[in-house]
Structure 1
Amino acid sequence: MDRAGKKLVRETIGILKKLHPGWEAKRILSDIKPMLEREQIPYSSSNSLLQNIKYQLKKFRETETTTLRRSGSGRPPTKSSKQLSIKLKRLVLNKRRRSPRKVAPKVDASVLTALRNLKKFAKPHRRKTTTKITNEHLMKRKKFALWLKRHWKLNPHDRSSKWQRLVNTYFSKPFRLTPELTSKNDIIWSTSRQDADKHGGYHGREKFSPGIMLWGGISWNGLIPPEAPVFIDKFLDGYQWPKRAKKTINGARYADLISTIGYPSLMKKYRNRVPIFQDDAASIHRTPIVLQQIDALFNERIPVDVQSPKFDDIWAIETV
């Protein structure tokens, strides 16, 4: 039915309802159907026309006219109130797994009303992934923080601050050269599966994707090395390896990395000042050969016995 036909039906229902207040939808339908046939106005079915008449009658009972338009489904919007906000804060604020869909029935409101009021005083935040910390880690973190507060000045902008001389080094975790496919986002719009397959519908996945690991440092004076981090696989290519041997980094090779690449790059950044070396508490960094090499190269470092593991929220480089 076109717009003119819908307008005619609305006006006719309004006139009939004023003339015959007791008429209901089916009685009005019996008068409107012959009128539409005379005017040669097509309609989809008697049932759809009946539903339209019921809608117009409901609108007439509320507004005493059929010309006004009802917004949406006709459900009156729930007004925001202080009591509703208090209930939402008590049920949702800073609590996990409290979606508007679950909370709305508890506050006697629609999902959209609950969501609209939630956005007035809060924002949704995804949970972040971090390293799991045990009670032992917490004790070591507290001990290390107290040591830093006692022996180092807290203001890093002070000229004599040790923070300006700190060089924080770290091995990155291995990451794949071939990224994981997100099938939800990587799609092809086609009329059929066959057409999609012809235009790149397959994604080749390596069963054992090669991975790489990086090493580098960060300091007040810039990155170390300044050009790019050290690719460990390329560094290990400089050694003689037996056939089919797995190339791995150990204490001796890490000591070579510090002496041949790390130390020269670091001293270029600290020509007139004495740097303070720091690496994490991994077992490879605590082997005797590594400790001896670092003591021979650097006059000062953060003591191994007070340094805390799981300190990535302080040493930002450990999040790489």
Structure 2
Amino acid sequence: MNSTIEGKIISVQRTIKELNLKPFKLKKAQKLTTSNKQQRVSCAKKLIRKFGARKNDHKWQWDKIVNIDISGIFTIEGFHNSKNDVIYAEESSEIPADLREASIVKYPSGVMFWGAITTKGLISQDGPINFTQWLRDQCPLDKRKRMYMIGDLYAKFLREEAISTINEVVENLNEVIFQDDQDSKHRTKTAMDVVNDFFEERIEPNDGDAKFADVWPIENIWGIMDEKTRGKTFENIDSLVDFINSEWRKITPEQCKAMIDNIPKRLAKVIQFNGNQVYEH
């Protein structure tokens, strides 16, 4: 290495040490345009006005929220960091052939889950619904093609699975406020009709869809599950599902209530930060 460059590296390392600085990885966040930020602020103000800012506010209704979502894909393969795929040698020719390649599965097997959070705890209480398996079960036996979620399927899932599961926990659907994400399939007429049939009140799409992944607590839950599975490799899908269910059951109703109660605070932060991402939990 060039002695000048090496000296600069040592100087930087010494300065970092003297200042007692610590390295922090950049956090992944949703991409926000200027328009997104403006919409976030506008929607945050509407939601606070409608459902209250503090518990002693006569408008306070956050304890009625049922916040639902379908997760991203959890895979049986652990997180792969390509920066760790390094072997030190003077020449590449010295490296044995069987050590030269870092084999990874391009499309590892995985599962999407459906779940919800209320002040009474997570739904369902034993673990999230295996949405991937439910989709597979909708495929006719004489066909083997992959099933994709469309508006009609989502409406069927709500009617046949999700709503009854929600009712087991909240006991009275008329006393809750329904909220799901901004996926266009959730906004089809068939899906909206099902929600309107079973729930007297919902957070309207125009009020709750302003890229609020950093506001709704169900996203926190999926984030917790993601952290728990990070770096782990599972033998098969069943062991992955069992692990998720086990970690899911560790989250208490008290934790869920705290997350729900924190929604207006996060909305206030959205306003304070002019629509920028909120990181505080």
Q: 1:263 maps to what in 2?
A: 163
How far 1:144 sits from its partner (Å)?
Answer: 0.9
User: How many residues get paired?
Assistant: 208
Cα shift readout 1:212-248 (whole Å, capped 9, x = no counterpart): 2111111211111111111122112332435232211
Q: 1:150 maps to what in 2?
A: 49
Q: Determine which of 208, 211, 233 is the counterpart of 2:107.
A: 208
Identity of aligned residues (%): 29
Cα 1:112/1:136, change in 2 over 3 Å: closer
Q: Which has the higher contact order (CA 8 A, sep 6+)?
A: 2
Q: 1:80 maps to what in 2?
A: none
Let me know the Cα RMSD of the aligned residues: 3.3
Distance 1:168 1:118 in 2: 43
Cα 1:156/1:124, change in 2 over 3 Å: farther
- Alignment TM-score, normalising by the size of structure 2: 0.63
Correspondence 1:254 to 2:163: no
Q: 1:78 maps to what in 2?
A: none
Cα shift readout 1:139-170 (whole Å, capped 9, x = no counterpart): 22111111112111222587973111111111
Query: Within 5 A, what are the aligned runs for 1:168-317?
Result: 168-182=67-81, 205-241=104-140, 243-271=143-171, 274-317=175-218
Cα shift readout 1:261-310 (whole Å, capped 9, x = no counterpart): 21112122222571111011110110000000000011110012222331
Q: Please, which runs of 5 or more residues in structure 2 have no aligned partner?
A: 1-6, 88-93, 223-281
Distance 1:266 1:251 in 2: 20
Correspondence 1:125 to 2:24: yes
Q: 2:230 maps to what in 1?
A: none
Distance 2:55 2:19 in 1: 40
Q: Please, which runs of 5 or more residues in structure 1 have no aligned partner?
A: 1-99, 105-109
Cα shift readout 1:10-52 (whole Å, capped 9, x = no counterpart): xxxxxxxxxxxxxxxxxxxxxxxxxxxxxxxxxxxxxxxxxxx
Distance 1:144 1:179 in 2: 37
Distance 2:189 2:212 in 1: 23
Q: Is the 8 A contact 1:156 1:164 kept in 2?
A: no
**Which structure shows the bigger proportion of residues in helix conformation?**
2
Q: Secondary structure at the match of 1:305?
A: helix
